[in-house]
Structure 1
Amino acid sequence: MKNLKNGNDESFRIIVDKYQRLILNSCYRFVYNRETAEDLTQEVFIEVYRSINMFRNDSKLSTWIYRIAISKSLDYLKSRKRKKRFANSKSLFENEDMIGSTSLKDEIQAPDEQSPEKLLDNDDRIKVLSLALDCLPENQRIAFTLSKYDEFSYKEIADVLGITISSVESLIHRAKVNLRKKLYNFYREYL
């Protein structure tokens, strides 16, 4: 750690080699796009390199790196939502013939309003789970993803999120309940 804080490039390369795949997978589970996940992973390690002297050793290095990865992924998703909202409102005002003819709700169908056949025709079952995960509140999605995909312990998740272990248990329980509801509604025709 001391070498890393002193700017030793070899130490940094070791850290990148050790965590790159894990961080890439974690970012991918937020954005579902390989190129974007790779870009975010690169941003994470740039941030690690720039701010390594701010690391206080009050948690594991991996926990600190995961916090950065989650933050970068969520920032990306928030900026993408803002861009989509702007693009939608801009297109509505550019084409005045659309106003009054159809509602925005008719044009943009929410994932849980689409039929199972349509979703399965468009993508596979993994996409369905991804859509269900996207519908979860942010803190539930993060806790569930870290637990089930990254195989973090509840203590590690608590450290990453800066919450108690009992809060992590609650978040994961609520995420499972919400996912069951979403997936049951989707698959009930097939049960």
Structure 2
Amino acid sequence: MNEHFDIIRAIVRKDPKAFDVLYDSFSTKVYNTALSYLQNVEDAEEVTQDVFLKVYQYASKFNEEAAVSTWIYRITVNSSLNFIKKKKRFSFLKFGKTDVELPDFEHPGVLLENKETAQSLFKAIQDLPESQKTAFILGYIEELPRQEIADIMETTLNAVESLLQRAKKNLRVTVKKY
């Protein structure tokens, strides 16, 4: 973990190799997290680029109170949620649609034989409230430790556990629709 602090410090010093090292360490995690939220490859790629641009721009403001991974996940979650909000503002063209549309993307962690079930699950995840969605994605899709989820979400461990329980309960109900 200390090496990640050193990488951030090197980025601040404008070391050209440091950013590449950080990108290589975190790009897959950032992309997969964004993909879990956005369920669209191009959107996830765009958010991934945005996250690393923010990391580069704000490296000097990183205060080393949290792990670098926590900071990057927090930026990823916020960027993904902001992207969804922005996209919803411009989705007025879809008002006439009444069909439930399952996402058409393949998450890297989903086996081929589970694709249809995964599509229903990811559609149901989109219907969760933001905090439940974040806890569920970080906990069950990204498989982060509960304490790291609490740090990313800036909340308590008990709150994370509660969010996960409510998310699972809501998903059980919602998945049946699809």
Query: Which category describes the TM-score, using the shorter chain as reference length?
Result: 0.7 to 0.9
Structure ID, larger Rg? 1
Number of residue pairs the alignment of both structures matches: 158
Match of residue 34 from structure 2? 27
Aligned residue for 2:21?
14
1: CA distance between counterparts of 2:21 and 2:34? 20
1:152-163 matches, cutoff 5 A: 152-163=144-155
- The CA distance in 2 between the partners of 1:53 and 1:110, in whole Å, is 47
Q: State how far apart, in whole Å, the 2-side matches of 1:150 and 1:62 are.
A: 12
User: What is the aligned partner in structure 1 of residue 109 from structure 2?
Assistant: none
Greater relative contact order structure (CA < 8 Å, 6+ sep):
2
Report the counterpart of residue 128 of structure 1 in structure 2. Answer: 120
Flag structure 2 segments of 5+ consecutive residues without an equivalent.
1-5, 102-114
String of CA shifts for 1:121-169, please: whole Å, max 9, x gaps: xx82222111111111011011000001111111000000100000000
List, as ranges, runs of 4+ consecutive aligned residues in structure 1 with deviation greater than 3 Å: none
Is 1:77 the equivalent of 2:97? Answer: no
2:98 corresponds to which of 99, 104, 109: 109
Secondary structure at the residue paired with 2:91? helix
The match for 1:55 is 62
CA 4–73 in structure 1, closer or farther in 2 if over 3 Å, else same: same
Separation (CA, whole Å) in 2 of partners of 1:68 and 1:18: 15
For 2:52, give the aligned amino acid: F
Structure 1 residues 10 and 163: CA distance shift in structure 2, 3 A: same
Determine the structure 2 residue equivalent to 1:145: 137
Letter of the 1:148 counterpart: Y
Identical pairs, percent: 32
Comparing both structures, which one devotes a greater share of its residues to helix?
1
Inter-partner Cα distance in structure 1 for 2:29 and 2:169? 27
- Mapped pair 1:3 → 2:10: yes
Displacement after TM superposition at 1:182 (Å) = 1.3
Residue aligning to 1:43: 50
Q: How far apart in 2 are the matches of 1:48 and 1:180? A: 36
TM-score normalized with structure 1 length = 0.78
TM-score normalised per structure 2 = 0.83
Match of 1:119 in 2: none
CA distance in 1, matches of 2:177, 2:50: 38
Structure 1: tracts of 5 or more residues without a match: 89-103, 113-122, 187-191
